[in-house]
Amino acid sequence: MISAASAWEIAIKTRLGRLDGEPLLSAWSDIVAALTATDIPIDAHDAIFASRLTWDHRDPFDRILVAQPPDETSP
C-alpha cells in the first residue's frame, strides 16, 4: 500500500522545483499497479490522528504516513 501523501509530497516538491518528479507522477498509476500495491487515501481520521501525535516532527507528510493504518482493516 502506498499513501496518497507520497504522491502529494512529490507533486508539491516538483511544483516548487525541488524535485524532477513529473515522470514519476505521470506514471504513478502504472508504478503502483506494477508493484501490485494500492493507494491509501487520506481521510479525516488520518488527519485528526496526525494532528494529535505527540511527536515533535513538523513535516505534515511524515505525520500522515505515521497516522495511516498499515492496512485497510486496521482501526
Q: Give the pLDDT confidence of 22-38 residue by residue, as tens digits.
A: 999 999 999 999 999 98
**What is the average per-residue pLDDT within 36-57?**
91
pLDDT of 69: 76
Please enumerate in sequence order all residues whose Cβ is within 8 A of that of 38, keeping only pairs 6 or more positions apart, or say none: 1, 2, 32
Cell numbers that stand for 6 in this block: 507520497
pLDDT of 75: 47
Please enumerate in sequence order all residues whose Cβ is within 8 A of that of 39, keeping only pairs 6 or more positions apart, or say none: 1, 2, 3, 4, 7, 32
